[in-house]
Amino acid sequence: MPRRRRLLRGVLVAALLVVVSAAIFHRPLLRFAGAVLVVNDPPQHADAIVVVAGGTPSREAVAADLFRQGWAPRVVVSRPYMAPEMRELNTLGVRPLDLQGEARLTLEKYGVPSDRIVSLAVTVMTTEPELAVVHAWARAAGDRRLIFVTSSAHTRRVQLIWSRESRRSHIEGLIVAAPSSDFAVDNWWHRRRAAEALLHEYLGLLAIYLGISPLMH
């Protein structure tokens, strides 16, 4: 009986320690989980600024600001895949621009001259093939350094994908985070969309490490 009591007491103490630790450390741990996803390199002079598809207009706003500051002479935009229903809206004139056209127009509104915007021709569905297209273009152009602009939660995955894509060419990729109203490191767990973004990115990173074919943007 004394042994059983000691065992029970030990289990209760351990459970209490777990509860106390969770109460004390849950916020720092959750913040750490969000912070791990965010990369934000200081800008350096580069050959081009690449707006990773999605997140319009926040990514374009940051890219245009970097362009105006003189960090690079060109801004590159991808041609994202357009779902059939989106194409039908274009045909009906309800949505007159495709996603690449929206990105271009947004950049122009933010002050980037149209002749300084490079529109890539190959349609891409997810980030991995998108950066493969960017890499092929950069190699053909003889570029040595690019600045990638994407949403903060997406930056770690972009960095990982580019490091793998460019390992032979050694084209440097700097990652600059565009602020997002949907994700904040300090309180992402209070917002459903932020929690979904965090889960999406961790699943994307896991897929890369496991070698699973990319299905996420």
Residue 147 has pLDDT above 90, yes or no: yes
Residue 136's domain comprises 48-210
The pLDDT of residue 19: 45
What average pLDDT does this structure show over 126-154?
97
**10, part of any domain:** no
Least confident of 2-6, 85-89, 119-123, 202-206: 2-6
Long-range contacts of 192-196 (CB under 8 A, 24+ apart): 194/153
pLDDT digit string, tens, across residues 170-213? 999 999 999 876 788 888 888 889 888 988 898 889 889 888 76
User: Which residues are registered as beta bridge partners of 79?
Assistant: 123
Which one-letter DSSP state was computed for residue 71?
S
- For the record, the structure tokens of 171 come out as 């084209």
Is residue 14 assigned to a domain?
no
| Whether the predicted pLDDT of 94 surpasses 60 | yes
Alpha-carbon distances of 132 from 30, 121, 143, 184, 201, rounded to whole Å: 32, 13, 14, 29, 19
pLDDT digit string (tens) for 57-71? Answer: 999 999 999 999 999
Count of domains forming the chain: 1
Sign of CA dihedral 46, 48, 51, 53: negative
Query: Is residue 13 in some structural domain?
Result: no
pLDDT in tens, 17-46: 544 454 456 778 888 888 999 999 999 999
pLDDT score, position 157: 96
Position 3 in a domain: no
Radius of gyration of the chain (CA): 22
pLDDT, position 186? 87
Residue 154: CATH number of its domain: 3.40.50
13 compared with 183, residue with greater pLDDT: 183
Phi-psi label, residue 211: left if phi above 0, alpha if psi -120 to 50, beta otherwise:
left
pLDDT at 216 over 90: no
pLDDT at 60: 97
| Tokens linked to 100 | 């690449």
| pLDDT of 4 above 70 | no
Evaluate whether residue 161 is within a structural domain: yes
State how far the Cα of 167 lies from the Cα of 134, in Å rounded to an integer: 14
Structure tokens at 70: 């003189």
pLDDT at 29: 80
137 within domain boundaries: yes
User: In this predicted structure, what is the pLDDT of residue 18?
Assistant: 47
Rounded to two decimals, what is the model's pTM?
A: 0.84
Q: What is the pLDDT of residue 55?
A: 87
Residue 170 lies in a domain: yes
Task: Show Cβ contacts of residue 124 under 8 Å, excluding neighbours closer than 6 positions.
Answer: 53, 78, 79, 80, 81, 130, 133
Do residues 112 and 67 lie in contact, with contact meaning Cβ atoms separated by under 8 Å?
yes
Helices in the chain by DSSP H: which ranges?
2-35, 58-68, 84-92, 99-109, 127-141, 155-165, 192-210
23: in domain: no
Is 110 in contact with 61 (CB distance < 8 Å)?
yes
Helix (H) or strand (E) holding 79: strand 75-80
Higher-scoring residue by pLDDT: 210, 146: 146
